[in-house]
Amino acid sequence: MDSNNLTQFAGAIASGAVRVVDLTFTLSPDFPVIVLPPEFGQAAPVRIQRISLYDAAGPAWYWNNLTFGEHTGTHFDAPIHWFTGKDLPNNSVDTLPVRDMIAPACVIDCSAEAAQNPDFLLTIPVVEAWENRHGRIPERHWVLLRTDWSKKGWRDYANLKDDGAHTPGPDAAVMRWLVEERGIIGLGTETIGTDAGQAGHLDPPYPAHHFLHGGGRYGLQCLCNLDQLPATGAVIIAAPLKIQNGSGSPLRVLALVPAA
Ligand SMILES: O=C(O)C(=O)c1ccccc1S
Ligand SMILES: [Mn+2]
């Protein structure tokens, strides 16, 4: 692509000919974070501690100290996050190839199924039916699972019951298939994890994490506004913080969408 095309692309964004859709929740102490069984370590809650607000602590400036877990809010999972990806090269947020931070996306709308069943699992037949309509999922594409879960409001977001969270996600067979047969770059979900809330009972447990990160692929969680994206044609910008040896990070996720 020559520099002229890139400049024209920037012009298309400025003119609105290419829409920029924000797929990110506001990072807030009020946003729910994943709750693991009590015997395990937990994500630190988001804390925003004011240092000064144009006051005696800082007469001309406003700033804060931030505390948060790598896996809080709308965030990115790197392969090092899971044991299956722990020995892969360039597997942390500070070492993964920057070219992987911009990639096209396929959006699979399972909002009706998730509305009927909070434990809905995406399967190979559901994806094959999507491919019959929209074409085969190309390599190095994100698969974004639209469930409209992000519209539930923060209070009901985790949908925690006595036996853990009940939220939709992929089954094990489709995760192995998407990584090994379709070569996706990663899976994005609206829910708190790329895995279903009850994924600990699947085989292998947490199959999205298992196969994505074992295959050197990535996860995006707590996305919103997927209903504003076309089934194909959007390009995702997802650049995690460059945290030393980081397993993931909160980030801004943007979708570039050709104006209709
Ligand atoms: O990656 C995550 O945020 C996530 O969902 C997770 C984090 C840690 C342990 C298990 C899971 S399942
Ligand atoms: Mn995560």
Range with the lowest mean pLDDT among 7-11, 123-127, 157-161? 157-161
DSSP codes joined into one string, 131-151: HHHH-PPPTT-EEEEE--GGG
Buried-exposed string 108-122: b where 16+ CB fall within 10 A, e elsewhere: bbbbeebeeebebbb
CA gyration radius, the chain: 19
81 is catalytic: yes
Ligand 1, pocket-test mutation among 145, 159, 209, most atoms within 8 A of CB: 209
The ipTM estimated for the assembled molecules is 0.94
What residue owns the CA closest to ligand 1's atom 5?
A: 193
**In ligand 1, which atom is closest to the CA atom of 219?**
1
Q: Kindly indicate the confidence band of residue 41, based on its pLDDT and cuts at 50, 70 and 90.
A: very high
Ligand 1, pocket-test mutation among 39, 195, 223, most atoms within 8 A of CB: 195
Any atom of ligand 1 within 6 Å of the Cβ of 213: no
Q: Which of 71, 75, 81, 209 is catalytic?
A: 81
**In ligand 1, which atom is closest to the CA atom of 77?**
1
Contact between residue 256 and residue 20 where contact means Cβ atoms under 8 Å apart: yes
pLDDT value of position 259:
86
pLDDT digit string, tens, across residues 170-194: 999 999 999 999 999 999 999 999 9
Distance separating alpha carbons of residues 246 and 190, to the nearest angstrom? 22
pLDDT value of position 76:
98
Q: Find all residues with CB under 8 Å of 181, minimum gap 6, and list them.
A: none
Q: What angle do CA 100, 34, 235 make, to 5 degrees?
A: 25
Q: Find all residues with CB under 8 Å of 35, minimum gap 6, and list them.
A: 42, 158, 160, 165
Distance separating alpha carbons of residues 92 and 77, to the nearest angstrom? 9
Distance separating alpha carbons of residues 190 and 158, to the nearest angstrom? 11
Q: How far is CA 22 from the centre of its chain?
A: 12
Tracing tokens 């892969």 back to the chain, one arrives at 88
Contact between residue 217 and residue 184 where contact means Cβ atoms under 8 Å apart: yes
Which pTM does this prediction carry? 0.96
- Indicate whether 154 pLDDT > 90: no
- The length of the chain, given as a count of residues: 260
Distance separating alpha carbons of residues 15 and 11, to the nearest angstrom? 6
Q: Find all residues with CB under 8 Å of 71, minimum gap 6, and list them.
A: 33, 34, 43, 77, 81, 221, 247, 248
Give the closest ligand to the alpha carbon of residue 42.
1
- Indicate whether 54 pLDDT > 90: yes
- Partnered with residue 53 across adjacent β-strands are 62
Q: Kindly indicate the confidence band of residue 196, based on its pLDDT and cuts at 50, 70 and 90.
A: very high
Any atom of ligand 1 within 6 Å of the Cβ of 70: no
Query: Which secondary structure element, helix H or strand E, spans residue 113, and what is its range?
Result: helix 111-116
Any atom of ligand 1 within 6 Å of the Cβ of 169: no
Distance separating alpha carbons of residues 17 and 10, to the nearest angstrom? 10
- Here the tokens at position 165 are 């969270």
Any atom of ligand 1 within 6 Å of the Cβ of 42: no
- Indicate whether 81 pLDDT > 80: yes
Contact between residue 168 and residue 114 where contact means Cβ atoms under 8 Å apart: yes
pLDDT value of position 153:
82
Any atom of ligand 1 within 6 Å of the Cβ of 141: no
Distance separating alpha carbons of residues 187 and 178, to the nearest angstrom? 9
- Here the tokens at position 81 are 């996050």
pLDDT value of position 35:
86
